[in-house]
Chains A and B, each alone.
Chain A
Amino acid sequence: MGVKKSMKTLKRSFQQILRYPSAVAGLIVVFTLIAISIYAMIKIPYNEAIRMWRGGEAVWYQNPKWVPPAWTNLFTSKKLAESFALDAEDSNVTKVVEERGEGTTRINYTYDFDFNFDEFPQELILYFTSQYDTKEPFVSILMLTPDGRELRIGDFAVSNRQTYRFSQDSKLQRRLGGVTPEIGLFADPNFETPTPLKGSYQLLVNGVTFEEGSDINAEFVMHGQVFGLAGTDHQRRDLMLPLLWGTPVALAFGLLAALGTSVLTMIIAAVGTWYSGWVDSLIQRITEVNLVLPFLSILIMVGTFYDRSLWTILGVTILLSIFTGGIKSYRAIFMQVKESTYIEAAKAYGAKDSRIIFHYLIPRLIPLLLPGLVSAVPAFVFLEASLAVLGLGDPVLPTWGKIINDAQNNGALYKGLYYWIVEPAALLMFTGLGFAMLGFALDRVFNPRLRGL
């Protein structure tokens, strides 16, 4: 009887909820977040996400450091250079191989690219890989500018694996008249102050190998001043990954903590009320002791001394949140329900205690559980972020809080890297507001005292 009745109430309440605009907005937010989570988990599987988040320079070398997302160009008059990476497979790259006899082979790469930006790039890099037995191949690098100038960049032998950073070549800098290469190569010679010359550029890598079967491969990477949809952080990581993957993590933490806390609180309150006597007073005393315990300090202690994993923190959070004010308000309601006639009837036909608690008492309060549960989600989502901001975030998982923590530690606000903080903060606010709005509406629907107020 109890279950059926509450199911009916739930259904009726759902129709009522749709009448509140804030609830509809909240529902849309929640469903959007779920959709993002599913997309993130399908598009980037867990192991791949962890590799991209913690992978190291090999994963991030194509990305510039500390740059805002590319779409910021839409709102500025001065267009910042976009990043790109060109390797031998790319259609803008041509590779010409020419046998010169006596084992000598010419391998020429031409990288075509357009530069139509108002600011200079951050860095230009060539990543060489080559195969040889004893004699290293030799390359000379040239750049052809749109106005027909030919700039000599450098000539050197390449080993198996070599990285050539234009900005660190002091000879090149001297040749360009003392300006750093990433400026000097793109500067229009007709201007006194460095101004980029727009148009199509060509980078030529002319290589010579001296052995049979020897080969050179070169990838040309330009680190611009903007990157991707979300920008990058201090380790060149694409922020899109933690933003996407932070969503399922935040949802999982928030929902599990809220669900665990409210369901356990309700069960314990029901058990206490039903058995009364010493069980009830024990629960009351535990609640009082829990009031004395410093909640956040204990979480920080667990994080610092023991384990920072999200699941440990989740468990401790639930454990500390069970015996709080909620247990008292549930108890008050259970006290009333306990006196109902249908409970009398159940007792009369000899139902077991557990049956009465789980089949008769608790189902009556499920409609009340929902608003509390939904309203509690933002607090837990922000709790995870708060711990991360204190440097106690999960060491493995990419989360929104960790982005803010990284940004704080690297002085993002002092350096003007606002995107770094605003993006995760916006998502946190979006999530918090969504659940809070839904929770408010649910509270008004299910809490008859508030109806009409």
Chain B
Amino acid sequence: MTVTTDEVIPPSVESVKKSGTSTLSRVAKYTSVRLVTLFITVVIGVYLTIMIANMGGYVDQIMRGEIRERVTVQVVNNPDVRRLDPDARNQLVLEKIALEEKRLGLDQPLVIRSFRYLANALTLNLGRAQNMTSDSGSRQVRLIILERLPATLLLMGTSNLILFFGSIFLALSLSRIYGSFWDKFIIALSPTSAAPPWFYGIFFILIFAAVLHVLPFGGMVDAPPPDDPFLYFLSVLKHLTLPASALIISSLFLSIYNWRTFFLIYSSEDYVEMAKAKGLSSRDVERRYILRPTLPTIITNFALLLIGLWTGAIITETVFLWPGLGRTLFRAIGQYDTPVIVGSTIIYAYLLAITVFLLDFIYAIVDPRVKVGG
């Protein structure tokens, strides 16, 4: 989640050699090769996730054991069945176990099942959850995920957008006055980003909820939710403040520091000195000579931020009882619900692949030195 200059993917700078008729075929060839490699990457990544979610068959055993126990208890507690003789009862138990295993697909070997999961995932046919249900009672993985998506987008979107634009803006201001008190102050504070958001979250809950009683401990809206849309909005805002601040604070200072250092490296380029020497206003220098060449990096980070919204924040959401995707995923893991785990992973993988693919073209648009597939 933290933005470091090292992680930035540098655009492939190539000098312009050939042009004209070959451009189209070159772009087409590059596009197809890139799409195929990205697709293979997604396939392998998702297949690995499926295998891990089953621990190579280990989870099947756990599930079989659980089914056996559940069905047996169910049958034993059924007064109608108690009257049957033991053989008939055992027969019933075995039948029910077989039925339940068939429902969860356990009657097929893992290899076959894993490929079916993979095929379904790749065609975005998310299917039905094994044990989980959405709040409205549906077992559709799509509905389970869609139900939680707004909460996660609200929390992650608010905090990450504020974090991103806030830190770039502050970093630019700092790079202008570098060496000053505020610059040193931010540098001194940047080690605080070693702690994850949930850690600040706990402190925020302690101070603002437990001691000062000004903000709620967790949740997304008051119970019962207010009817008036404006009051509802205020209530959500109140609940949003602490988790969003925790997410922002935990990476703010390091993010500012990294952007500041990044801008400083670019502002010590010769052409910037040249522009200054020409007597351009500092505003123009900043916009045209510092920000312009850093645009690919800024766009990359922004794109990665956008897809990062999807994963949610498992622990922060858990600490703040925020009903988002992260918590759903955590619950899905706890219930061995492979379809939900895979569904969440495949969407992230696709988003990532599409973003990486599109970034190549965006670089070519914003940076005249870059050529697609050049």
CA distance A291 to B206 in the complex (A): 35
Contact A292 B46 (CB under 8 A): yes
Please tell me if B190 contacts chain A, counting CB pairs below 8 Å.
yes
Please tell me if B264 contacts chain A, counting CB pairs below 8 Å.
yes
Using A289-B41, A305-B62 as known contacts, say yes or no to A389 and B319 having CB atoms under 8 A apart: yes
B202 to chain A, nearest CB (A): 6
Pick from A296, A416, A450 the residue with the most CB of B within 10 Å. A296
Please tell me if B249 contacts chain A, counting CB pairs below 8 Å.
no
Contact A418 B42 (CB under 8 A): no
CA distance A297 to B331 in the complex (A): 11
CA distance A453 to B46 in the complex (A): 42
Contacts of A422 in B (CB 8 A): 206
Count of A-B residue pairs with CB < 8 Å: 134
**A interface bracket (residues with beta carbon within 8 Å of B):** 35 or more
CA distance A388 to B372 in the complex (A): 46
Contacts of B264 in A (CB 8 A): 453
CA distance A281 to B45 in the complex (A): 17
Please tell me if B138 contacts chain A, counting CB pairs below 8 Å.
no
Contact A382 B55 (CB under 8 A): no
CA distance A304 to B44 in the complex (A): 23
Residues B141-197 near A (CB distance < 8 A): 178, 187-188, 190-196
Cβ-neighbour of B6 out of A298, A306, A329, A436 (below 8 A): A329
Cβ-neighbour of B199 out of A306, A326, A382 (below 8 A): A382
Pick from A300, A408, A416 the residue with the most CB of B within 10 Å. A300
Contact A293 B49 (CB under 8 A): yes
Q: Can you identify 24 A-B contacts, CB atoms within 8 angstroms? A: A289-B41, A289-B45, A290-B45, A292-B42, A292-B349, A293-B49, A297-B345, A300-B314, A300-B330, A302-B55, A304-B334, A305-B62, A325-B6, A325-B7, A378-B195, A386-B198, A389-B198, A389-B319, A404-B202, A413-B205, A421-B206, A432-B194, A437-B191, A450-B261
Contact A435 B194 (CB under 8 A): yes
Contacts of A418 in B (CB 8 A): 206, 210-211
CA distance A453 to B265 in the complex (A): 8
A179 to chain B, nearest CB (A): 30
A residues with a Cβ closer than 8 A to B are 22, 285, 288-294, 296-298, 300-302, 304-306, 325-326, 329, 378-379, 382, 385-386, 389-390, 404, 408, 413-414, 416, 418, 421-422, 425, 428-429, 432-433, 435-437, 439-440, 449-450, 453
Residue of B nearest to A332 (CB): B10
Please tell me if B329 contacts chain A, counting CB pairs below 8 Å.
yes
CA distance A304 to B334 in the complex (A): 7
B residues with a Cβ closer than 8 A to A are 6-7, 37, 41-42, 44-46, 48-49, 52-53, 55, 58-59, 62, 178, 187-188, 190-196, 198-199, 202-203, 205-206, 209-211, 217, 261, 264-265, 311, 314-315, 318-319, 329-330, 333-334, 336, 341, 344-345, 348-349, 352-353
Residue of A nearest to B193 (CB): A436
Contacts of B187 in A (CB 8 A): 440
CA distance A425 to B194 in the complex (A): 13
Using A300-B330, A404-B202, A450-B261 as known contacts, say yes or no to A292 and B352 having CB atoms under 8 A apart: yes
CA distance A399 to B348 in the complex (A): 33
Contact B41 A292 (CB under 8 A): yes
Contacts of B195 in A (CB 8 A): 378, 382, 428-429, 432
- 8 closest cross-chain pairs (CB), A and B: A292-B45, A436-B191, A378-B194, A432-B194, A436-B194, A325-B7, A292-B349, A413-B210
CA distance A378 to B194 in the complex (A): 6
Using A305-B336, A414-B210, A432-B194 as known contacts, say yes or no to A297 and B341 having CB atoms under 8 A apart: yes
B324 to chain A, nearest CB (A): 14
CA distance A436 to B50 in the complex (A): 36
Contact A421 B58 (CB under 8 A): no
Contact A301 B52 (CB under 8 A): yes
Residue of A nearest to B334 (CB): A304
Residue of B nearest to A296 (CB): B314
Using A292-B349, A301-B53, A416-B210 as known contacts, say yes or no to A386 and B196 having CB atoms under 8 A apart: yes
Contact A298 B49 (CB under 8 A): yes
Contact B315 A389 (CB under 8 A): yes
CA distance A440 to B55 in the complex (A): 39
